[in-house]
Structure 1
Amino acid sequence: MIGLDGVSANALSDTIGAIYDCALDPHQWSDTCRKIAVLCESTGGGICVHDMRHVQNDQLFVFGYQPEFLDKLGSHYAESPMAAADIVAKIGHVSALSMEELELAESRFHKEVLKPFGLLDIVWFPALRTGGRMASMHASRSDEAPHYQHREISLFKLLSPHVCRALTISDALDIRALRSEILEKTLDVLVAGVFLTARDGRVVYMNAAAERQVRTGNSIRIVNNRIFPADPAARAALSKSIDEASRDDIDKDMSEHSMAIPGVDGAGYVATLLPIDRGERRGIVAPLAASVALFMQDPVQSPLMPGEAFARLYKLTGGELRVLLALAQGLSGKEAADMLGISEPTVRTHLQHIFCKTDTPRQSDLLRLLQNSTPAIRGPQRPALVPDPS
């Protein structure tokens, strides 16, 4: 194969097969990015999402980089040779920083971003454009290796159309991977423990509060990757409820089901089960392969739901409150719409109603009013104010 000496047909076939597997399961991109990097004899790589409307860059499935470098790259991306090249490049067009036309050697980007972190060269291609967001796949070499040569660039050119097709098939970055990250960040600020389970009862996700509840161990533990209440009766009831909530023949409009989870010391939690493997909920939690959501709440310590007093004060509807709390987590209007399973115009309509009810002229004023009126949420972070989109 011309220009690909040393790359076996089996290695290429396995890598291309892995790329198309990612179309159905975007979380496989992490391993696939590593496969591609190994073929190209690279020390780092991954997928970068560039949000051109909000001048934001998110690194997904990356490896081989210092966190400080990723921060530096994000803050300087707009002035990098990569940003300028991607504006005019076609989807799948492969470039390397060492290419003569990019004039990297004496650039400020090379001196201030790459060189301090020991990076010599980056090869990449734009892989997906959707709305105001663009995604690119990249691999990199440290300064202990030579610049990318014809062999590695040819290999990237061979793989790029397959990567572009796989991302287009599932629109993985917009619909699954990014939503998964947004979902996890949102769940981690909740006071209630959130457990997401698969159809067979295996726990596929726990938020920060749930992890703390398990570490305490008074009421629940994780045994064989399943929730294991200390109380035998609660254990049997929970197992039965998860099984029933996961069944295909369950009433699609089944509401949540609550039950007691006593602890060994007399305390315990109130658990609420919600089937999520159906309808719009299915799309939201698809990246986590979850069938049932279990909310574990301490009835003594849990404060008023964040924003509830605020909603009562200004007579907000449930829909308006959900939109407000989503925006308070730093989500854009589109991200809030995706998370809540509603349209972006509906988000804007709710927001206009909230402006009228709270007598606030702009989103920043509204979120500042909410922050000043709502008790702090216990957890690793607090709701952040976001700049006005205007």
Structure 2
Amino acid sequence: MIGLEGVSAQALSDTIGAIYDCALDPQLWPETCRKIAGLCESTGGGICVHDMRHVQNDQLFVFGYQPEFLEKLGSQYAQSPMAAADIVASVGDVSILSTDRQELLESRFYRDVLAPFALTDMIWFPALRTGGRMASLHASRKEQAPHYQQLEIGLFKLLSPHVCRALTISDALDIRTLRSEMLEKTLDVLSAGVFLAARDGRVVYMNEAAERQVKAGTSIRILNNRLDPVDPAASAALSMAIDRAARDDDSAGANQRSLAIPSGNGAGYIATLLPVQRGQRADIVAPFAASVAIFMQDPLEAPMLPGEAFARLHKLTGGELRVLLALAQGLGAKEAADMLGISEPTVRTHLQHMFAKTNTLRQADLLRLLQSSTPAVRAP
């Protein structure tokens, strides 16, 4: 076992106990991160959430950094040595930036991100993976401090299993930015755009339909990581509605949770807002917890028939139905194959079977049949 000279058994025991306390009370993570950093004589640290799908890097419970550094790290994280190392690392594997000091000093990441803020080294390990997102715990040192050595690596190796277990036990600490993979896949199937926003209006999640709405840019866009309707009046109304929903202030306009988000061509979306947490839960995870769910629906798009009923009607298999629902989102055969984790030829085979079962000849005809098989009901 690697020696941990200078670290007392009592300090280790207290730190491990604090880590497990965080599993039940995430408010304790900031102090626990400071405790871990203190054991390895670090000036900064915390927990980061890396979203490889949306190329985002959210900082949770961090300390010891200038806001400008966190912004620069977030914008360049995907090209950093940390991101490259984590692609091949397993959960709990400890890494340091200075493994190859000369290579680090010559890197653009060091020159552009670390050096301007006098940071010389970072130590970290991936602690939890959920779908396309990963949480890692890290610490850092500034100029005049030595690079991390085997003592600090050994300490992080000793603590990493406990941090990983604590995150797993609490199912990502109730941090909404670490979504369950099952929930993410479910939301991605919905035809309505789903945005989850924090109390300050920052968007912490978008499903695939929401991403398409933002990419279209005709009615809604993302500005400074917040939803920003193109129409100025709608922008002000949405901002106020998000604030009210986040506070769950029924007396401040409970009947105004739906509003129009027009576009410049006379169309647009209907936004419906719902609070997703109440009371003290809003204080647990600072600004990264989702406080408001915003459903953005195009009123010209008829709701789809429930998949199970359509499948039973036409005797579709489960695999065929999954392909159909993926294609109904506007995906091509290759995109549907990638999303479902199957080959493109398999998607096309399923399509041929569905053509035969539904008496259609083309994909467009099949999707029109699905679209036209809607319940005869109107939204209230």
TM-score range, shorter chain: 0.5 to 0.7
| Structure 2: gaps of 5 or more residues | 180-195, 203-237, 277-287, 304-328, 331-380
Aligned equivalent of 2:259: 308
Question: Is the CA contact 1:179–1:339 (under 8 Å) kept in the aligned structure 2?
Answer: no
Aligned equivalent of 2:175: 176
Shift of 1:192: 9.1
Question: Is the CA contact 1:193–1:295 (under 8 Å) kept in the aligned structure 2?
Answer: no
Cα RMSD (Å) of the superposition? 4.2
CA distances 1:149-179 after superposition (whole Å, capped 9, x unpaired)? 1111110110001001111111225x43538
TM-score normalised according to structure 2 size: 0.54
Shift of 1:10: 1.1
Shift of 1:184: 1.8
The SS at the match of 1:49 is strand
Question: Is the CA contact 1:93–1:157 (under 8 Å) kept in the aligned structure 2?
Answer: yes
Mapped partners of 2:292, 2:11: distance in 1? 38
Question: Is the CA contact 2:95–2:124 (under 8 Å) kept in the aligned structure 1?
Answer: yes
1:190 correspondence with 2:240? yes
Shift of 1:354: 3.8
Shift of 1:357: 6.4
Question: Is the CA contact 2:94–2:124 (under 8 Å) kept in the aligned structure 1?
Answer: yes
Shift of 1:28: 1.3
TM-score normalised according to structure 1 size: 0.53
Over the matched positions of the two proteins, sequence identity in percent amounts to: 60
Aligned equivalent of 1:356: 301
Aligned equivalent of 2:5: 5
Mapped partners of 1:110, 1:133: distance in 2? 24
CA distances 1:218-239 after superposition (whole Å, capped 9, x unpaired)? xxxxxxxxxxxxxxxxxxxxxx
Question: Is the CA contact 1:72–1:113 (under 8 Å) kept in the aligned structure 2?
Answer: yes
Amino acid at match of 2:256: M
Shift of 1:79: 1.1
Aligned equivalent of 1:41: 41
The SS at the match of 1:61 is strand
The match for 1:322 among 269, 272, 289 is 272
Amino acid at match of 1:68: E
The SS at the match of 2:41 is coil
Amino acid at match of 2:44: G
Aligned equivalent of 1:125: 125
Give the direction of change, closer, same or farther, for the CA distance of 1:193–1:356 in structure 2 (3 Å limit): closer
The SS at the match of 2:20 is helix
Give the direction of change, closer, same or farther, for the CA distance of 1:94–1:193 in structure 2 (3 Å limit): closer
Mapped partners of 1:129, 1:325: distance in 2? 27
Question: Is the CA contact 2:176–2:290 (under 8 Å) kept in the aligned structure 1?
Answer: no
CA distances 1:264-283 after superposition (whole Å, capped 9, x unpaired)? xxxxxxxxxxxxxxxxxxxx
Mapped partners of 1:102, 1:164: distance in 2? 31
Aligned equivalent of 2:112: 112
Aligned equivalent of 1:238: none
Question: Is the CA contact 1:126–1:135 (under 8 Å) kept in the aligned structure 2?
Answer: yes
Amino acid at match of 1:56: Q
Aligned equivalent of 2:307: none
1:29 correspondence with 2:49? no
Question: Is the CA contact 1:81–1:102 (under 8 Å) kept in the aligned structure 2?
Answer: no
Shift of 1:6: 1.1
Give the direction of change, closer, same or farther, for the CA distance of 1:125–1:321 in structure 2 (3 Å limit): same
Aligned equivalent of 1:225: none
Question: Is the CA contact 2:50–2:133 (under 8 Å) kept in the aligned structure 1?
Answer: yes
Mapped partners of 1:2, 1:179: distance in 2? 32
The SS at the match of 2:47 is strand
Mapped partners of 1:177, 1:192: distance in 2? 17
Mapped partners of 1:324, 1:191: distance in 2? 10
What aligned pairs does 1:68-217 form with structure 2 within 5 A after superposition? 68-100=68-100, 103-172=103-172, 175-176=174-175, 178=177, 182-186=197-201, 189-190=239-240
Shift of 1:308: 2.9
Mapped partners of 1:146, 1:91: distance in 2? 26
Mapped partners of 1:303, 1:75: distance in 2? 38
Give the direction of change, closer, same or farther, for the CA distance of 1:116–1:193 in structure 2 (3 Å limit): closer
Give the direction of change, closer, same or farther, for the CA distance of 1:113–1:338 in structure 2 (3 Å limit): same
Give the direction of change, closer, same or farther, for the CA distance of 1:106–1:338 in structure 2 (3 Å limit): same
Mapped partners of 1:4, 1:70: distance in 2? 31
Give the direction of change, closer, same or farther, for the CA distance of 1:8–1:194 in structure 2 (3 Å limit): farther
CA distances 1:42-87 after superposition (whole Å, capped 9, x unpaired)? 0000111111111111000000000000111111111111000000
Aligned equivalent of 1:18: 18
Mapped partners of 1:323, 1:192: distance in 2? 7
CA distances 1:78-111 after superposition (whole Å, capped 9, x unpaired)? 1111000000001000000011289312111111
| Structure 1: gaps of 5 or more residues | 196-205, 208-292, 327-334, 342-346, 364-390
Question: Aligned residue pairs: how many?
Answer: 241
